[in-house]
């Protein structure tokens, strides 16, 4: 019987990945469709993708599939054929990542964004908090492509809603987009409907990174009684691809945050965010190098050098301790979703205090 789970350590897997002599292509895709037996579907898919040396994370639920993966480029056509012959995935749109040549980590930028294949069965492919049994994904908003999106954005009767988290919105978004001020998608759905109650007669466009959240959000808005609901097909990833191919004006400014180790794809040269430590214009996300913290935050190169890639003086000092002491500090710590965002504004005074100390001064 084929082994259906990885048994090799992450350290070995990463070392093996970096020794690969071939290129990889980073791809994301999703589809809402009924999966009768998610566990069997998961196991069958694991066996076939493992044979093609596919890495990444995939979620399977009765409502469909959500995937972010990397495929050896020389296996790309075989992968596409496999997908075409997989139940429920015919004519699937694949969002293929763009390498801009400007990443701080060229290995990651060139497709080495995952080092293991993980396929998990979940209750839903997007945690939405919806418990109403009458809600259905069969009725959803109208797809719009890049050209249609641009056209609708010129209409004063259009409201565009960003269904992503603050840390994503912070580095890039559509002009005049409305941010839903919450950290979780399940909280954003009812909040978006409430915020738009006075605009039910307007065009409501939902968008997100790759389309999966805004597609469900559009179905939710229709369920809540809205009528003129649209969602951006393929999300920002597909929009960026289309405006480049069709030489369209970009209405999205800045960088699109992505959920692999690249942490971003640049759409325009605009830098609309700031370093969370010194305040300089910067949109480079990173994780604090202290494994007991691992905070996701924005850090410029100067601050990365000054703090050794950490978010604070405390974390900088911690990473230089003996490993056994670091492990002792980490014991029992649940980092959870440790993200520098609006709801964690309590972190900002701490960072500002550290920045103002005499130990650190970036001009």
Is position 208 annotated as part of the catalytic site?
yes
| Residue 211 contacts residue 199 (beta carbons within 8 Å) | no
Which positions ≥6 away from 252 have C-beta within 8 Å? 172, 173, 174, 175, 236, 239, 240, 267, 268
Question: Counting runs of H as helices and runs of E as strands, what totals does the chain give?
Answer: 13, 15
Residues 6+ apart with CB under 8 A from 293: 310, 311, 312, 315, 318, 335, 338
Distance CA 300, CA 306 (A): 10
Q: What is the dihedral sign for C-alpha 278, 279, 284, 285?
A: positive
- Distances in Å between the Cα of 231 and the Cα atoms of 138, 186, 287, 293 are 14, 18, 31, 36
Marked catalytic residue, from 208, 288, 293, 311: 208
The DSSP line for 179-212 is E---SSHHHHHHHHHHHTGGGTTSEEEEE-SSSH
Contact 41, 87 (CB under 8 A): yes
Spatial separation of the C-alpha atoms in residues 20 and 172, rounded to whole Å: 33
Q: Strands of 22-102 (E only): list them.
A: 24-32, 55-61, 64-72, 95-96
Q: Which residues pair with 27 in a beta bridge?
A: 69, 96
Task: Provide the pairing of β-strand 95-96 with 24-32.
Answer: antiparallel
Strand order in the sheet with 265-266: 172-174, 252-256, 265-266
């964004």: which residue's tokens? Answer: 113
Q: Is 5 exposed, middle or buried (0-12, 13-18, 19+ CB in 10 A)?
A: exposed
Active site residues: 208
């Amino acid at each position: 019987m084929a082994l259906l789970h990885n048994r090799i350590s992450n350290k070995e897997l990463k070392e093996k990945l970096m020794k690969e002599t071939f290129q990889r292509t980073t791809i994301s895709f999703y589809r809402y469709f009924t999966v009768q037996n998610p566990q069997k579907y998961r196991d069958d898919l694991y066996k076939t993708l493992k044979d093609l040396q596919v890495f990444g994370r995939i979620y399977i639920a009765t409502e469909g599939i959500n995937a972010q993966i990397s495929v050896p480029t020389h296996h790309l056509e075989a992968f596409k054929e496999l997908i075409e012959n997989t139940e429920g995935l015919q004519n699937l749109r694949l969002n293929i990542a763009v390498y801009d040549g400007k990443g701080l980590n060229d290995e990651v930028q060139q497709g080495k964004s995952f080092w293991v294949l993980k396929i998990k069965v979940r209750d839903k492919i997007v945690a939405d908090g919806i418990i109403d049994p009458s809600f259905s994904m069969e009725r959803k908003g109208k797809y719009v492509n890049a050209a249609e999106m641009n056209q609708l954005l010129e209409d004063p009767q259009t409201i565009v809603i960003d269904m992503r988290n603050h840390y994503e919105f912070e580095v890039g978004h559509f002009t005049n987009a409305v941010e839903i001020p919450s950290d979780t998608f399940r909280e954003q759905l009812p909040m978006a409907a409430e915020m738009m109650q006075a605009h039910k007669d307007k065009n409501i466009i939902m968008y997100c990174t790759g389309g999966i959240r805004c597609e469900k959000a559009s179905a939710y808005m229709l369920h809540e009684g809205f009528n003129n609901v649209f969602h951006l097909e393929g999300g920002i990833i597909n929009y960026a691809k289309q405006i480049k191919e069709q030489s369209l004006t970009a209405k999205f400014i800045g960088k699109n945050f992505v959920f692999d180790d690249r942490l971003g794809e640049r759409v325009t040269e605009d830098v609309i965010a700031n370093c969370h430590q010194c305040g300089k214009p910067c949109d480079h996300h990173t994780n604090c190098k202290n494994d007991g913290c691992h905070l996701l935050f924005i850090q410029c190169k100067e601050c990365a050098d000054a703090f050794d890639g950490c978010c604070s003086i405390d974390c900088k000092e911690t990473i230089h301790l003996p490993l056994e002491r670091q492990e002792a500090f980490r014991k029992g710590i649940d980092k959870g979703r440790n993200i520098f965002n609006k709801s964690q504004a309590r972190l900002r005074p701490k960072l500002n205090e550290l920045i103002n100390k005499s130990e650190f001064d970036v001009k």
